[in-house]
Structure 1
Amino acid sequence: MGFGKDNITGIYKIVRMCFNDHWKIQRCEILDVNIGRWRRLRPPPYEVKFRRKSTCVNGSIYWIEVTPRYKLLALNLHKEKWRDVTLPSGALGTSCQVANLENRLALAATYIENHHWYVKIWCMHAPEEETWSLIYSISLFPLQHRLDNSIPL
């Protein structure tokens, strides 16, 4: 699922996708909430797992797919066209999530470096050029850190 606003018309839209490897079924539909009727939309170029969360930024809905390889997929809600988005260099972490950060596309990814677990947050500054900047790198804790109540706060 995805939900967002067409920046040109101001109309809110919902996107739903259905994939089935066994029967090779791909179905994608879009709902214009003003009309209240689902209609078919060309399926994306590859499957997006049903647990992947989406975000809407500047009239496009984004999904990140991590398996079998990292891909960032966008659907322009006005043109209703799919496109791949270039990921920031070095942004492939253990897990990733897309978000809307002050009306900019953001990517949060967890990493393991030097026996520490980190989260790095990248932000897209120029959507037309797909330029990214690393805005935060946060050390969460050492890998051998215990996550229980025996550690005083």
Structure 2
Amino acid sequence: MALEKSKGCKLLFVCDDFVDRAEDTLFLKTVALEKTSVSEGDEQAFEFEGYKGFLDISESCDGLVCFYDTTRAVEVMNPTTTMFIELPLSRIQQLYWIGKDSVSGSYKLVWMYNTSPATPPTCEVLDLEGKKWRFVNTTSLDHHQILCDQRPVFANGSLYWLTGDEEGYATTQTKLIVLDLHTEMFQVIQTPPFITRDASGDKIGLCNLDGRLCISELKKDCKQEFWWRVEDNNTWERIFSVDLVSTSTWFGGITKQPLTPLTISRDTNKVILSLRCQDNLVALDLDPNSSVCHLYFSGYYGLVCPYFPTFVTCH
């Protein structure tokens, strides 16, 4: 089907600060990025009942988002239509990601995890149409393990992971693992040349920023530089940098953990920044003569993702 995509980016929050909510229930809230006040967001009538203390959310792919915990079925939802489907549990239930085969147009869920230092990671894939998990060959990864607890990134038909050491911990020999969602083949590539060669994996950030693969490095001076990929000529473009000392006020004093950019507001020329497990968002002015940052949103559950509203169905 043709993708009907809105021009206006929204932020999807998982919230638990509603009045009189049950202790085991979470709610969704959406906020239009260009609105003057985040209080104007629309609260979705979608609830997570029986919440057990762990919940994660994927990045959006064509307006579809995955929600899951360690015991519940994966739920793929379109927050625009509030339609969702439940999918079967995988072998190990944690850190799913959704992506799109750029050739066939089919949507796939992917879950990759380390099994032992002596063997490559294990990868499970589910086609949204078939709704059955299957294993994908990972022998081409050889001795490479993925960095533990990272959030993989989907961009332009592929999923990306950072490598870790043999136990999955951060290493100064970090590379990129790339999975082509059409061929379902892996390759291991070097990080871009502007990333310091001995940079530790926990100082490198990966994300999808407004449809592009974005990579960043947090350096020893607490400054984080962000670059994104220009697909037309397969090059990288530096887009902005941020001093984490200036943002630490809203992120619990943290200056040693990379920030994640969610989206760039073209109307205000600001980028919205988040930090995993922190309940604030910060807006940074991209004007090189300003670089002012301020609190953009506060009080959500710590889970947020940008999405462009679409009418793509979940099945």
Tell me the TM-score normalized by structure 2: 0.40
Deviation at 1:27, TM superposition (A): 2.5
Query: What does residue 217 of structure 2 align with?
Result: 109
CA deviation string 1:24-49 (max 9, x = no partner): 47432211011011112012602113
Larger Rg: 2
Whether the 8 Å CA contact 2:117–2:145 is kept in 1: the answer is no
Relative contact order higher in (CA < 8 Å, ≥ 6 apart): 2
What secondary structure does 1:20 align onto?
coil
Identity %: 25
Q: Higher helix share goes to which structure?
A: 2
Aligned residue pairs: how many? Answer: 142
Whether the 8 Å CA contact 1:55–1:98 is kept in 2: the answer is yes
What secondary structure does 2:104 align onto?
coil
Deviation at 1:13, TM superposition (A): 0.7
Deviation at 1:64, TM superposition (A): 1.8
Aligned-pair Cα RMSD in Å: 2.8
Whether the 8 Å CA contact 2:115–2:122 is kept in 1: the answer is no
Cα distance in 1, alignment partners of residues 146 and 115 from structure 2: 11
> What residue identity is the alignment partner of 2:238?
L
- 1:27 equivalent among 122, 135, 140: 122
Runs of at least 5 residues in structure 1 that lack an aligned partner in the other structure: 149-153
Give the 3 Å change call, closer, same or farther, for CA 74–24 of structure 1 in structure 2. Answer: closer
Query: What does residue 288 of structure 2 align with?
Result: none
Q: Higher strand share goes to which structure?
A: 1
Cα distance in 2, alignment partners of residues 22 and 74 from structure 1: 20
Residue 91 (structure 1) aligned with residue 199 (structure 2): no
Cα distance in 1, alignment partners of residues 105 and 126 from structure 2: 14
